[in-house]
Amino acid sequence: MVIIGAGKAGARAPISLREHGWKGRITLIGEEPLAPYDRPPLSKAAMTAAEEPAPVFLLDDELLQALDVTFIANATATDIDRAEKEVVLADGRRIPYQKLLIATGARARRLALPGAERALMLRDFHESVALRAACAPGRSVAIIGGGFIGLELAASASQRGCKVTVIEAQPRILMRGVTEAVARRIAARHEAAGVVLLTGIGVERIEADAVVLSDGRRIPAEIVIAGIGAAPAVALAEASGLALDNGIACDVEMRTSDPDIYAAGDCCSFPHGLYGGRRLRLEAWRSAQDQAAVAAENMLGGHRQFTAVPWFWSDQYELNLQIAGLPSDGVSSCTRPMKDDAFIEFHLDGEGRLVGASGIGRGNAIARDIKLAEMLIAKGARPDQAALAHPDVALRGLLK
């Protein structure tokens, strides 16, 4: 069994293969020199902790040894010889496989404008360390992109004492990710921290000491960070002739167009049974983990389908945002107020089926109810909107 990619999905797959009884060889191929590590802390704790950051390993040397995994670090897979069933590495090595899992994730999008080479990006642990060092107290930081990664870095830089400006071309922050009410709450918290949010404006160019906006304004910036999203890493799959459709095209069992090759995580799309078989690509930590577990079981002859409810979270300052399901599928919504200004919005389709939930609050204020909402979504429940909105009605009771 060979796994290309040492992120969350790539790290989970060897564990699942062993759990399901695979006794043979497992080879894990990673592009970085480090063993697989967790990436969510890179924009958060690694930036704000008092002590120097260290990787949070998903598979350290001891666990790799215990799982009997051959880990090839600093290696780039350049081709898949599907006829010979071999992965070809940049240095010429050829790694034979019986079944192959592609877990190459997504690549951060690069800016395409004059001066873009000045912009720092966050793609790996070493770049997180570099960003932490650059964001020294008192420095002016301009962040291009008001999505999750841009705002998490804005919160972290602000907490480090930087003067932060976020520039977003869309009419508001998190235009694609969350509802307007949740976005307003996050925007207010950033502004309370002194972060300047500029929305509905593009960037013309980046100069040595400033970002020049499309209307001619100059935003002083000793540090410029690009956070404009990511694209699925499909170059290897495309070169190998695998079918693509918003990522590597998989079926419900995470199998690609080649019956001996599977994919998991941000790099692939698949039909989701909860949403009418619509093809989705999920950029989320838990989805990558769960897809890898499904793929690993099926690589060993299983026929398990991936049906997990999408779930995503973001921490900014003391606020925790969580999203379950696909809120954008809702045609109506209702809001449940909770203690300390926390709230959850529930999103229902035209038939009254709960399809998504969006919540925000301090710490873990919303965690339990978002989990219950996730369970309701998984059941295809059609709960009464008045009951959803009433804070004294227990969501657990609606599961019955």
Question: Scanning the structure block, which residue is given the tokens 């912009």?
Answer: 119
Amino acid identity at 263: A
Buried b (16+ CB within 10 A) or exposed e, 303-337: eebbebbbbbbbbbbebbbbbbbbbebbeebbebe
Taken in order of first residue, the domains within the chain and their CATH numbers are 2-106+230-299 (3.50.50.60), 110-226 (3.50.50.60), 318-398 (3.30.390.30)
Q: Which helix (H) or strand (E) holds 166?
A: strand 163-168
Tell me the C-alpha distance between 175 and 185, whole Å: 13
Residue 177: per-residue pLDDT: 80
Over the stretch 175-233, which tens digit does the pLDDT of each residue have?
988 999 999 999 999 999 999 999 999 999 999 999 999 999 999 999 999 999 999 99
Local confidence pLDDT in tens for the 400 residues of the chain: 999 999 999 999 999 999 999 999 999 999 999 999 999 999 999 999 989 999 999 999 999 999 999 999 999 999 999 999 999 999 999 999 999 999 999 999 999 999 999 999 999 999 999 999 999 999 999 999 999 999 999 999 999 999 999 999 999 999 988 999 999 999 999 999 999 999 999 999 999 999 999 999 999 999 999 999 999 999 999 999 999 999 999 999 999 999 999 999 999 999 998 988 999 999 999 999 999 999 999 999 999 999 999 999 999 999 999 999 999 999 999 999 999 999 999 999 999 999 999 999 999 999 999 999 999 999 999 999 999 999 999 999 999 8
Which pLDDT value is given to residue 400? 84
Is there a contact between 248 and 257 (Cβ–Cβ < 8 Å)? no
pLDDT on residue 295: 98
Question: How far is residue 12's CA from residue 136's CA, in Å, rounded to a whole number?
Answer: 35
pTM, whole model, 2 decimals? 0.95
Q: With contact defined as beta carbons under 8 Å apart, do 72 and 28 qualify?
A: yes
Condensed to tens digits (0 to 9), the pLDDT of residues 136-187 reads 999 999 999 999 999 999 999 999 999 999 999 999 999 988 999 999 999 9
Amino acid at 167: I
Identify any residues that bridge with 69 across adjacent strands, giving them in sequence order: 26
**Distances in whole angstroms, Cα of residue 183 to Cα of each of 153, 160, 189, 309:** 16, 23, 10, 22
Local structure of 12: helix, strand or coil: helix
How far from 128 is each of 39, 68, 137, 314, CA to CA, in Å? 10, 30, 16, 17
User: Alpha helices, DSSP H only, in 235-316?
Assistant: 235-239, 285-299
- Per the CB < 8 A criterion, the answer to whether 59 and 14 are in contact is yes
> Degrees (nearest 5) of the Cα angle 324, 328, 332?
95
Tokens of 194: 């002194």
Phi, psi of 249 (to 5 degrees): -75, 120
Distance between terminal CA atoms of the chain? 42
Cα separation, 234 vs 178, in Å, equals 27
Contacts of 264 (CB under 8 A, 6+ apart): 9, 13, 101, 102, 103, 254, 288, 291, 292, 294, 295
Sign of the CA dihedral with 128 first, then 44, 172, and 284 last: positive
320: which 2 tokens?
A: 């925790």
Question: Which tokens belong to 222?
Answer: 């000793």
What is the side-by-side order of every strand in the sheet holding 261-263? 69-72, 26-29, 2-4, 100-102, 261-263
